[in-house]
Amino acid sequence: MVCDAVRDFAISGSNIPVEEDRFTKFFIDQSEKIRISPPVIYPPFAMEDLDTTLVENLRRLKYNRLLPVQSYAISVILSGISGFRRTDKPLVLILGNTQNLMAQTFDFACKMAGYSPDTKVSRTQVRILDLYMGGTSSHRFQQPFEHEIVVATTGGIKKAISLSKIDLSALQLLILDEADKMVDSRRGFGYDVAEIFSMIPDETRANINVAEFSATFAEGSDEVYLTELDRELFQ
């Protein structure tokens, strides 16, 4: 779980202050208090450590560096993944609580990957599917989905699963954005996330990596409290 205090890539000339030493100390302090699996994680990533084509795409968008939270998030997430296998099933599922948020996520993910939803051509060989529109049109479900990354609201992914148009048996990474809301059963999202998680095959669920991102942890707090759903996701 990583607190996403800054949500955008650093842009050259930006006025956003980046307190790298402070964040590094915070990360080290927290990592000593929590159990990390695997116990050894990769060193923090720099932009140059990423896929060459991905870096080229980011530079075209005028993003020139990773912020500390992004650098550490990448290292933690990739440390838990042995390697992505090429398949015709989704490898990554990104869930969020609103259509607007998921539309922004999908749009930026496509730009990062150099993927065109219209032509289905990707400069990074990564295809991205959007499943966040309310009452997603039935014609979209005529053929099974074979994208590597799925960006969805809970309603969109549940519909695809109910129609047997998406297979989550190869899923390696589940990402919850606005995680404080997504695991909150009082708002209803928690029940949806729990239901979706239960639809993932047992063997896949036992080995899946889960990442939560939230910007709402109180500054200065040295504790992160897990809900019952969090404990199930991170077991």
> Quick one: 155 and 58 in the same domain?
no
Q: Are 164 and 216 found together in one domain?
A: yes
Token digits for 218? 């109180």
Binning the chain into helix, strand and coil, the percentages to the nearest 5 are: 40, 15, 45
Contact 102, 153 (CB under 8 A): yes
Tell me the C-alpha distance between 91 and 105, whole Å: 17
Single out the residue in 27, 48, 80 at which a domain terminates: 80
* pTM, 2 dp: 0.82
Cβ atoms 139, 159 nearer than 8 A: no
Which 8-state DSSP code applies to residue 138? G
Q: Are residues 136 and 209 in the same domain?
A: yes
In the beta sheet, which residues pair with residue 134? none
Are residue 142 and residue 212 in the same domain, yes or no?
A: yes
Distances (CA, A) of 79 to 39, 69, 173: 9, 15, 12
Of the given ranges (42-46, 56-60, 167-171, 200-204), which has the lowest mean pLDDT? 42-46
- The total number of structural domains in the chain stands at 2
Cα–Cα distance between 37 and 206 in angstroms, integer?
Answer: 13
Residue 192: predicted pLDDT: 93
127 and 113 in a single domain? The answer is yes
Distance CA 94, CA 96 (A): 7
- What is the strand order of the sheet 128-131 is part of? 2-3, 209-214, 173-177, 92-96, 149-153, 128-131
Tens digits of residue pLDDT in 7-66: 333 334 344 444 567 777 777 776 666 565 656 677 888 999 999 999 999 999 999 998
**What distance lies between CA 14 and its chain's CA centroid?**
25
Task: Looking at the structure, tell me whether residues 169 and 221 fall in a common domain.
Answer: yes
112: which 2 tokens? 């990062």
**Cα 19 off chain centre by:** 24
The residues that bridge with 176 in the sheet, in sequence order, are: 95, 212
At 89-117, the pLDDT tens digits run 999 999 999 999 999 999 999 999 999 99
Enclosing domain of residue 219: 85-234
Of 23, 58, 80, which residue constitutes the final position of a domain? Answer: 80
Domain harbouring 177, CATH code = 3.40.50.300
Tokens 């956003």, located at residue = 16
User: Which residue among 56, 80, 104 closes a domain?
Assistant: 80
Task: Note whether 7 and 90 are same-domain residues.
Answer: no
The answer to whether residues 5 and 111 belong to one domain is: no
pLDDT for the residue 138? 58
**Structural contact between residues 173 and 93, judged by C-beta atoms closer than 8 angstroms:** yes
Residue 89 and residue 50 share a domain:
no
Q: How far out from the chain centre does Cα 1 lie?
A: 11
- Split at pLDDT 50, 70, 90, the class of 210 is very high
CA atoms of 94 and 3, how far apart (whole Å): 16
